[in-house]
Structure 1
């Protein structure tokens, strides 16, 4: 059985170069992450911010449209929960230490689980697709 851990989330907002609020970097315990991509501008900003994030996830329905509101849990292979958040868009960037993890992502009551290994100098990028989910979110 996978163990559960709790951590307080926090977020930091910075002003972008154009004076509008930039995407916020948030925290789950010591893990920093960013989520969004609801529009093209956010998608570009997130893709530009991928440096330093060991894991990049893209959430898609069976038609290839992005999904928001995806509950994501990341566990060490030992079963310890290290990350939990609900995405605010179809893209999720997570700063994870090198190691092996299990990702469990849930959308509309349908869970997808996959292993991932994070290397110290290489980013892991994954598309997570729900074949039964027909709703268009983004």
Structure 2
């Protein structure tokens, strides 16, 4: 697993140097990229992706997980948008998950996640101390989705 971590770390460093604004590295479905001061990694399907994300976990201060209510089955294909407290877009992914790790500057952010037409939103504040926040989004069975706001 060490070669995967080295490749991903190198790719993240190169992307930061180049200032790219979209997904720029994809290794077996694990997508990494940057948008301005924001870096991210999305994936988690399969053992290799989970291991790669686990190795990168300490580098990110916001960690999102998308799953099914009750069973905990992970969900991919989530449209994700993160804006700052003034609703300025920080990042947007059309197809993310089931895990998305994001590194953001300290501040308050609005996270909007949409799966199968059902949108959920959360506010999260990231402190200057660098402590990470884990945010879980659960979608229920179709009969339950009407209660999700």
Query: TM-score, normalization: structure 1?
Result: 0.77
Residues 106-127 of structure 1 show CA distances to partners (whole Å, capped at 9, x for unaligned) of: 0000000011011232011111
Separation in 2, partners of 1:61, 1:119? 29
More helix by share: 2
Structure 2: runs of 5 or more not aligned? 1-19, 144-149
Q: 2:55 aligned with 1:48, yes or no? A: yes
Q: Distance in 2 between matches of 1:10 and 1:47?
A: 19
> Does the aligned pair in 1 maintain the 2:74–2:98 contact within 8 Å?
yes
| SS in structure 2 at match of 1:51 | helix
Q: Structure 1 residue aligned with 2:25, among 1, 9, 12?
A: 12
Unaligned runs of 5+ in 1: 1-6, 15-20
Tell me which stretches of 4 or more aligned residues in structure 1 moved more than 6 Å: none
2:10 alignment partner in structure 1: none
> Cα distance 1:85–1:132, how it changes in 2: closer, same or farther (>3 A)?
same
Instruction: For 1:80 and 1:41, locate their aligned partners in 2 and report how far apart those are by CA, in whole Å.
Output: 34
Equivalence for 1:31 = 38
Deviation at 1:13, TM superposition (A): 5.5
Whether 1:124 and 2:133 are equivalent positions in the alignment is yes
Q: Quickly say closer, same or farther: Cα 1:29–1:110, change in 2 above 3 A.
A: same
Query: 79, 90, 98: which one pairs with 2:87?
Result: 79
SS at match of 2:24: strand
Q: Is the 8 A contact 1:54 1:119 kept in 2?
A: no
More contact order relative to length (CA 8 Å, sep ≥ 6):
1
Alignment root-mean-square deviation, CA = 2.3
Q: Distance in 2 between matches of 1:71 and 1:42?
A: 19
TM-score by length of 2: 0.72
